[in-house]
Amino acid sequence: MYSHPGVKTAPSHPVPETMKAWVLGDPDELKLIDKPVPVPKKAEVLVRVDAIAICATDLDVISSGPPAMIQGGKPFNKNFTPGHEYMGTVVALGPGVDEFAIGDRITVEIHAGCGQCKRCRMGMYTSCHNYGLNYGDVDKGHRANGFTSDGGFAEYAVNNINTLIKISDEMSDEEATLVVTAGTSMYGLTELGGLIAGEGIVVMGPGPIGLLGVAVAKALGAYPVILTGTRDNRLETGKELGADYVINVRNEDAVEAVRRITGGKGVDYVLECSGAQEAINESGRMLNRGGKICLAAFPHDPALIDVAHLVRNNIYIYGIRGEGKSATHRAHAFMAEKRFDATKIHTHTFMMEELPKALHYARNRIDDAIKVVVKMPQRRAELEGRRKTG
């Protein structure tokens, strides 16, 4: 039986000693193995993973490594479990934890910074100065599950209590996996951006962060909310999530369209989620003077930028990495209040043992896949049990 000093468990949620977990071998090689169930330390809990969404960043990690970093280097052949957008049930409490109870349904943020560097002290724990330093003599306590520590493509994961958000039974497992994505958009728009009601925004690129960026911006009172992209079906989803205008850049010039919609004035913000080569230059021309560009995509190549235009027009540019300052909690509040329906971006569900197929769907956007969710066997057993008894 799973038993460790100072760790609380309960008969209602028995924990085995070993679990099934996917681990990364060579690039693009995932293996389903048995691993010991991890043990929560002080200020940590053990989470039974019930569902996990696949993110484009997971695909990057599995194929090329960064931004994942294990023991100071690339994450290959280190018994590392990727996956970071998960939700589940608290099943064991580390020493001294009374903030959560066994049986609580939770969803997670990704990053628990070191808590001791300048950025962590400012609440910007996704910009922790001790990123990836969590091993051997250089253990600063930094955790970013699925990047620098084991993630959620497994039956169990350990989480710092600061990364947990309690969810009600009304929120489905699938919807709960999307909270952190909405939290990333929220962080970019409010804490880092300072967006206030009535300001105009263009969201470039209708991927998951862009689409939930539209939803969050609308819920925050932005106007107009304009979405640009190349796929009509995704632009339609954007409208359902609150876009006032959508622009298919295959059919019209996005900068001209934004100028026309805003009466020549331009918008106050661009949330850049496309990673396109010309994105920053186009953003600069969609903005009014003093406007801000929030960069949320990871382009693969350096871009040539018209800096003089940005300087002349007093334009701010900032990158976001993840979901700092507890923005995820506030995004969850919007979702719990049903201010938008994030499940509109959830398109496919697979079981844990089908992870390679699920990744294939996400990577190749098969059948118009946007967010692909993987569900866990324990959760299936529990739901089936409930169906039988209920």
Q: Which residues bind Zn ion (CB under 5 A)?
A: 55, 57, 113-114, 117, 120, 128, 130
Question: Please, which residue, 120 or 359, has the CB nearer to Zn ion?
Answer: 120
Question: Please, which residue, 57 or 160, has the CB nearer to Zn ion?
Answer: 57
Residue with nearest beta carbon to Zn ion: 55
DSSP class of 191: I
Closest to 222 measured CA to CA, from 315, 298, 326, 292: 292
CB 114, min distance to Zn ion, A: 3
Question: Please, which residue, 116 or 314, has the CB nearer to Zn ion?
Answer: 116
CB 53, min distance to Zn ion, A: 8
Alpha helices in the chain (DSSP H): 56-64, 118-121, 173-177, 179-186, 208-219, 232-240, 254-261, 279-286, 307-312, 327-336, 355-364, 377-389
CB 212, min distance to Zn ion, A: 11
CB 128, min distance to Zn ion, A: 3
Question: Please, which residue, 15 or 47, has the CB nearer to Zn ion?
Answer: 47
Question: Please, which residue, 215 or 249, has the CB nearer to Zn ion?
Answer: 215
DSSP class of 266: -
If you search the block for the tokens 């628990």, which residue do you land on? 112
CB 189, min distance to Zn ion, A: 17
Question: Please, which residue, 199 or 272, has the CB nearer to Zn ion?
Answer: 272
First-last CA distance in the chain = 29
CB 96, min distance to Zn ion, A: 22
